[in-house]
């Protein structure tokens, strides 16, 4: 009985200590990510917002340390959640001044993960809170939920494949809140009531937008000038 | 018949009045192009202000395809008035000039004469639209370049890929030709009932304006008659710019959301053209030429 | 000889108005048929029915022995017409107008033949000018060129002298005579003025309110034995008494406020004049006119005082 109580206590203690500081885990994840100084990735992007009808488009994604990030469509028009896409794994962790707290464990896509709350120390930071779901064995972030001051809450889900040793995902899904969209018919010069037919799935996730990027290849650490990030 | 048709086309294009419409279209498009070239960014910002609160749009929105859409949206409401200028003058103008009685003392059948004139009116309408296409589409493609087309609809937005647009414009212009031909056929019919051109021109314009207002007003009472008004179907060209999505909300290139609406509207317009022509022939057969 | 044009009981009603009322007449080949009547008498309506512009309410029109209702196209090929004003396309040149209407008449004329036609009406030097700048007379001449370009058998001229100056009127007169005598064409010409038609018409028809009033051979209608003379003197009553007592008594018709009316043979007029001098009647004027003119004026002019005492 005493033995059992001791084990329990030590478990609680361990948990308690971990709850107070997950910085070492985050640092490890960060170290893995920081192997990549820059990359150019090729992939496809799908915008899934209830009031947007857009086809899948080819994109090129550019990244350079510490926080230069850009999604470019070759000559096309891209629709992205406001301010959302510039938030990527690297930029989330670019800042060193944060408090990392454990918030238990969770299962993401059938994989057990450690939930870490990341609180920026800087009070003026755009990001208020980030919750990371980290697979401890591989040091990969499977999910990140970020609350911002201006642009609401974003959710990123990542799936890894060929580039997981660099911490680079094969697939990223951004979820974000959207506002209602409606234009008077007088402006669009339409006569007929023309609401876009909603699928059942859309009705459920109404007002929730998604941007899905599927990366097919990365070119890593080949050197990038800052010029490519200028608009 | 062929000779008659040739002569009618020849007459149309020898008249100064014919070129008013071409000049008007050139002028209007020129002004829009000038304005957008100069101040396009602000226009786009204004146009997109509702959507940019939650979505960032990146890329060359104001490209040739977009400008063409803007031009069509604005002009296709007014081109009917320009078409009325010539179509509603086809018979009444001849009556006014006094040439109708000279023409009809020639050994030609009234039916053949009327059909030739009608066909010449259609040629004029088509050429006006081709001119519109040259200026609004091809010239804008040259000036503003081509890119994806981002369109705001009343309850959603559509993004069309660059390689999925040109055919839609071809369809839209073909449909617009049908819509404008309906206007021409109406003007043509009305031109039978007067010995001066002003009356039928004003009557045609008034009918178009009146019916367009009925088509636009969202009053439940009018919604019952709307499907029967040809003006409701005249904007069917816009259907070419709506795209289907699959279950995961992914737009499918090369599709049209409501292809049957286009077919239906086209049939309604075609039926109007045939009806107007048949009434014209019937009226003209019995008409006493008193001018 | 079969008539070239045969009209039987032709009637046209516009609503309640009967514009042409059971009109029948026929036109012989190689004649000039004068069609007389006041404005609104039904001349234009009849002529428009002859050319297929107006559908008759009832009655028959036969031209070249064919029914107009059934063979309009064949008949119109052989007709050249100027109806009312000679209106052509103002924005085209004289040459372009002529060519256009020639093609509509079913012929493909050469440039030479078109220029030749324009030369005949004196417009060769204005061939390339837009019609908008033409005078009424020039337009009329172009209208006639258009009517004749396909060499029709029957030429219909509706009020051809309207708006023309005296020279233009004379030109039209000569043209009509030329068409009949030299080219053996048949001409139907309408007018509201007898003076224009009497010199060219071989046959005459007077219509009033859509009805035939008088029809006949010009030589019959203009019978010199039926010449009416109006005398105006200082004292008409005295003169009347003197003439009653003279050998002219059988010719006296009546006395009006304007003067004394006699009906004599045209050849007797010089003798009448001598007698008046001899009888010491102070003459102011002596106006001979044939009976048709009075007749025409009487039936066609509202309020016309009958100066004939038939």
From the CB of residue B277, how many other CB atoms can be counted at a distance below 10 Å?
A: 18
Q: What is the pLDDT of residue A200?
A: 44
B48 and chain A in contact, CB less than 8 A: no
Alpha-carbon gap, residue A215 to A62, rounded angstroms: 12
Contact list, B215 vs chain A (CB under 8 Å): 191
Probe site for chain A from B146, B154, B231 (most A CB atoms < 10 A): B154
What residues does A64 pair with on adjacent strands?
A38, A68
Contact B106, C156 (CB under 8 A): no
CB C210 within 8 A of CB C9: no
Give the pLDDT band (50/70/90) at residue A11.
very low
pLDDT tens digit sequence for B156-174: 888 888 888 999 999 999 9
A abuts B (3+ Cβ pairs < 8 Å): yes
Residues across chain C: 310
Tell me the CA distances in angstroms from A189 to B129, B136, B150, one per residue in order. 20, 18, 16
Of B54, B56, B162, Cβ closest to residue A178? B54
Identify the pLDDT of residue C111. 92
pLDDT of residue B152 exceeding 90, the answer is no
Is it the case that residue A89 has pLDDT exceeding 80? no
Confidence label for A14 from pLDDT (cuts 50, 70 and 90): very low
* Predicted pLDDT of residue A204: 42
pLDDT band with cut points at 50, 70 and 90 for residue A20? low
Residue B291 burial (CB count, 10 A): 20
CA–CA distances in Å: residue B235 to residues A183, B74, B188, B226, C245? 18, 11, 21, 13, 97
Residue A73: per-residue pLDDT: 74
Backbone angles phi, psi at C42, to 5 degrees: 115, 5
How many residues comprise chain B?
Answer: 291
Across the range A131-144, mean pLDDT stands at: 87
Task: Find out whether C294 and C308 touch, Cβ atoms under 8 Å.
Answer: yes
In this prediction, residues A134-158 reach a mean pLDDT of 84
Mean of pLDDT values over A116-130: 81
Instruction: State how far the Cα of A6 lies from the Cα of A23, in Å rounded to an integer.
Output: 27
Q: List the single residue in A with minimal CA-CA distance to B76.
A: A189
Mutation site, C42, C63, C85, C87, interface B, largest B CB count within 10 A: C87
Confidence of residue A123 (pLDDT cuts 50, 70, 90): confident
> Is residue A15 very low, low, confident or very high in pLDDT (cuts 50, 70, 90)?
very low
Q: What is the pLDDT of residues B190-224, one digit of tens each?
A: 999 998 889 999 999 999 989 988 888 777 887 78
Per the CB < 8 Å rule, is B105 touching C77? no
- Cβ–Cβ of A196/B155 closer than 8 Å? yes
What pLDDT, on a 0 to 100 scale, did the predictor assign at position B193? 93
User: Which of C74, C90, C104 is the closest to B106 by Cβ?
Assistant: C104
* Partner C contacted by B196 (CB < 8 A): no
Q: Which of C50, C74, C83 is most worth mutating to test chain B (most B CB atoms within 10 A of its CB)?
A: C83
Distance in angstroms (rounded) separating the CA atoms of residues B98 and C139: 12
Q: What is the mean pLDDT of residues B20-26?
A: 91
pTM of the model: 0.81
User: What confidence tens digit (pLDDT) does each residue in B97-122 have?
Assistant: 889 999 999 999 999 999 999 999 99
Q: Give the C-alpha separation, A72 to C46, whole Å.
A: 81
Contact predicate B235/B77, CB 8 Å: no
If you average pLDDT over residues B47-67, what whole number do you get? 81
pLDDT of A32 strictly over 90: no
3-class DSSP string for A14-29: HHHHHHHCCHHHHHHH
pLDDT for B2 beyond 50: yes
Q: What is the mean pLDDT of residues C223-229?
A: 77
Bridge partner residues of A52 (DSSP): B157
Confidence of residue B272 (pLDDT cuts 50, 70, 90): very high
C-alpha C118/C-alpha C142 separation (Å) is: 7
pLDDT of residue B92: 93
State residue A86's pLDDT score.
Answer: 58
Pairing of strands C79-82, C154-158: parallel
Render pLDDT for C34-61 as a digit per residue (tens, 0 to 9).
988 888 888 889 999 999 999 999 999 9
Going by pLDDT thresholds of 50, 70 and 90, the confidence category of residue A205 is very low
- Which of C42, C57, C100, C158 to mutate against chain B (most B CBs within 10 Å)? C100
Cβ contacts of A46 on chain B, cutoff 8 Å:
248, 250
CA–chain centroid gap for B162, Å, is 24
* pLDDT at position B250 over 50: yes
User: How far is it, in rounded angstroms, from Cα A224 to Cα A218?
Assistant: 13
pLDDT at C228: 81
Q: What is the mean pLDDT of residues A164-178?
A: 83
pLDDT in tens, A94-112: 566 778 888 888 888 888 8
**Interface residues of chain C, partner chain B, Cβ below 8 Å:** 14, 48, 51-55, 72-77, 79, 81, 83-92, 96, 100-101, 103-106, 143, 146
Q: How confident is the model at residue A207 (pLDDT cuts 50, 70, 90)?
A: low
Residue B186, min C-alpha distance to chain C (Å): 24
Query: Which residues from chain B sit within 8 angstroms of residue C56, using beta carbons?
Result: none
Of C51, C52, C100, the CB nearest to B7: C100
Flag if B98 and C51 touch (Cβ within 8 Å).
no
- The pLDDT score that the predictor gives to residue B81 is 87
Inter-chain residue contact B152 with A179, CB threshold 8 Å: no
Q: B50 CA to chain A: closest CA distance, Å?
A: 7
Predicted confidence at residue C210, as pLDDT, reads: 87
Rounded CA-CA distance A87/B81 in Å is: 53
B101 contacts on C by Cβ (under 8 Å) = 48, 51, 53, 83-84, 87
- pLDDT exceeds 60 at position C239: yes
For chain B, positions 72-111, list CB contacts with chain A under 8 A.
73, 77
> What does the pLDDT average to over C120-144?
89
Contact C83 B99 (CB under 8 A): no
ipTM for the complex shown: 0.81
Query: What is the pLDDT at residue B177?
Result: 94
Q: Is the pLDDT of residue B274 over 80?
A: yes
| Of C294 and A129, more confident | A129
Confidence of residue C308 (pLDDT cuts 50, 70, 90): very low
To the nearest whole angstrom, how far is the Cα of B78 from the nearest Cα of chain A?
13
Residue B172 distance to chain A (closest CA, Å): 15
Give residues with Cβ within 8 angstroms of C44, minimum separation 6. Answer: C83, C84, C158, C159, C190
Residue of B nearest to C102 (CA): B106
Task: Report yes or no: B49 at the C interface, CB cutoff 8 Å.
Answer: no
Report the pLDDT value the prediction gives residue C208, as an integer from 0 to 100.
86
- Interchain CB distance below 8 Å, C55 and B104: no
Residue pair A146/A135 in contact (Cβ under 8 Å)? The answer is no
The 10s digit of each residue's pLDDT in C84-110 is 888 899 999 999 999 999 999 888 889
pLDDT at C188: 93
Q: Which two tokens stand for residue A37?
A: 């100084």
Q: How many CB pairs under 8 A join A and B?
A: 145
User: Does residue A113 surpass a pLDDT of 80?
Assistant: yes
Chains that touch C (3 or more CB pairs under 8 A): B
pLDDT in the model for residue A17: 46
Q: How close is the nearest chain C Cα to the Cα of B262, in Å?
A: 41
For β-strands A98-108 and C66-67, DSSP reports them as unpaired
In degrees and rounded to multiples of 5, residue B133 shows phi and psi of -65, -40
**Over the stretch C157-213, which tens digit does the pLDDT of each residue have?**
988 888 788 888 888 888 899 889 988 999 999 988 777 788 888 888 888 888 888
Q: Could you give the residue ranges of the DSSP H alpha helices within chain B?
A: 2-14, 18-47, 64-75, 79-87, 92-97, 99-104, 110-133, 140-144, 166-190, 198-216, 220-223, 230-234, 259-286
* Range of lowest pLDDT (B112-126, C195-209, C226-240, C283-297): C283-297
Q: What is the pLDDT of residues A40-68, one digit of tens each?
A: 889 888 888 878 888 888 888 888 877 77
Q: What is the pLDDT of residue A203?
A: 45
């Amino acid at each position: 009985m005493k033995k059992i109580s001791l084990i329990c206590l030590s478990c609680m203690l361990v948990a308690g200590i971990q709850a107070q500081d997950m910085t070492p885990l985050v640092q490890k994840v960060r170290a893995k990510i920081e192997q990549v100084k820059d990359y150019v990735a090729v992939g496809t992007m799908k915008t899934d917002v209830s009031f947007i009808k857009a086809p899948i488009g080819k994109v090129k994604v550019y990244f350079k340390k510490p926080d230069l990030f850009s999604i470019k469509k070759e000559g096309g028009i891209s629709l992205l959640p406001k301010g959302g896409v510039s938030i990527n794994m690297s930029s989330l962790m670019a800042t060193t001044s944060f408090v990392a707290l454990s918030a238990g464990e969770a299962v993401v896509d059938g994989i057990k993960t450690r939930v870490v709350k990341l609180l920026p120390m800087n009070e003026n930071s755009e990001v208020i809170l980030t919750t990371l779901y980290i697979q401890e064995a591989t040091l990969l972030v499977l999910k990140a939920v970020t609350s911002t001051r201006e642009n609401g809450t974003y959710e990123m889900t990542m799936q890894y494949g060929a580039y997981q040793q660099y911490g680079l995902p094969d697939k990223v899904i951004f979820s974000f809140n959207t506002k209602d969209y409606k234009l008077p018919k007088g402006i669009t010069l339409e006569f007929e009531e023309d609401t876009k037919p909603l699928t059942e799935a859309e009705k459920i996730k109404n007002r929730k937008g998604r941007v899905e990027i599927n990366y097919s290849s990365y070119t890593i650490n080949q050197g990038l000038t800052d010029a490519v990030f200028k608009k | 018949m062929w000779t008659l048709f040739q002569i009618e086309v020849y007459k149309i294009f020898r008249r100064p009045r014919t070129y008013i419409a071409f000049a008007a279209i050139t002028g209007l498009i020129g002004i829009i192009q000038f304005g957008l070239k100069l101040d396009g960014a602000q226009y786009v910002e204004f146009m997109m202000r509702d959507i940019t609160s939650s979505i960032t749009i990146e890329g060359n929105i104001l490209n040739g395809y977009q400008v063409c859409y803007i031009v069509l949206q604005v002009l296709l409401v007014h081109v009917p008035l320009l078409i009325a200028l010539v179509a509603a003058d086809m018979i009444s103008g001849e009556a006014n000039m006094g040439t109708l009685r000279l023409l009809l003392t020639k050994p030609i059948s009234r039916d053949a004469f009327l059909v030739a004139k009608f066909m010449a009116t259609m040629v004029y309408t088509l050429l006006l639209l081709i001119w519109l296409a040259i200026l609004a589409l091809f010239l804008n493609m040259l000036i503003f370049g081509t890119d994806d087309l981002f369109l705001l609809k009343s309850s959603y937005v559509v993004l069309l890929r660059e390689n999925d647009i040109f055919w839609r414009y071809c369809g839209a212009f073909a449909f617009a030709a049908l819509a404008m031909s309906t206007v021409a056929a109406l003007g043509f019919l009305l031109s039978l009932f007067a010995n001066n051109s002003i009356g039928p021109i004003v009557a045609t314009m008034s009918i178009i304006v009146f019916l367009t207002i009925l088509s636009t007003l969202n009053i439940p009472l009018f919604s019952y008659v709307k499907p029967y008004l040809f003006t409701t179907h005249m904007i069917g060209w816009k259907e070419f710019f709506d795209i289907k999505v699959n279950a995961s909300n992914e737009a499918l290139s090369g599709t049209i959301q409501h292809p049957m609406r286009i077919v239906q509207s086209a049939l309604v317009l075609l039926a109007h053209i045939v009806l107007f022509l048949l009434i014209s022939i019937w009226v003209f057969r019995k008409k006493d030429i008193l001018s | 000889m079969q008539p070239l044009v045969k009209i039987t009981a032709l009637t046209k009603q516009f609503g309640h108005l009967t514009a042409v009322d059971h009109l029948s007449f026929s036109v012989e080949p190689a004649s000039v048929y004068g069609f007389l009547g006041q404005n609104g008498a039904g001349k234009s309506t009849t002529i428009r029915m002859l050319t297929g512009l107006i559908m008759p309410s009832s009655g028959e029109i036969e031209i070249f022995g064919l029914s107009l209702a059934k063979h309009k196209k064949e008949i119109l090929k052989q007709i050249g017409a100027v109806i009312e004003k000679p209106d052509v396309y103002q924005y085209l040149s004289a040459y372009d107008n002529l060519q256009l209407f020639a093609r509509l008449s079913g012929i493909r004329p050469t440039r030479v033949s078109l220029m030749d036609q324009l030369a005949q009406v004196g417009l060769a030097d204005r061939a390339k000018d837009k019609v908008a700048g033409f005078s009424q007379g020039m337009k009329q001449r172009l209208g006639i060129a258009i009517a004749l370009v396909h060499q029709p058998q029957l030429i219909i001229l509706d009020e051809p002298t309207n708006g023309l100056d005296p020279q233009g009127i004379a030109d039209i007169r000569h043209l009509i005579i030329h068409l009949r005598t030299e080219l053996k064409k048949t001409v139907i010409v309408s007018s509201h003025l007898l003076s224009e038609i009497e010199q060219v018409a071989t046959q005459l028809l007077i219509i009033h309110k859509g009805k035939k009033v008088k029809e006949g051979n010009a030589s019959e209608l203009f019978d010199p034995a039926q010449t009416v003379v109006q005398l105006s003197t200082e004292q008409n009553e005295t003169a009347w008494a003197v003439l009653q007592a003279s050998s002219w008594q059988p010719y006296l018709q009546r006395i009006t406020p304007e003067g004394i009316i006699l009906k004599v043979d045209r050849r007797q007029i010089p003798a009448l004049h001598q007698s008046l001098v001899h009888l010491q009647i102070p003459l102011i004027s002596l106006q001979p006119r044939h009976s048709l003119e009075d007749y025409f004026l009487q039936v066609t002019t509202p309020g016309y005082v009958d100066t004939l005492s038939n």
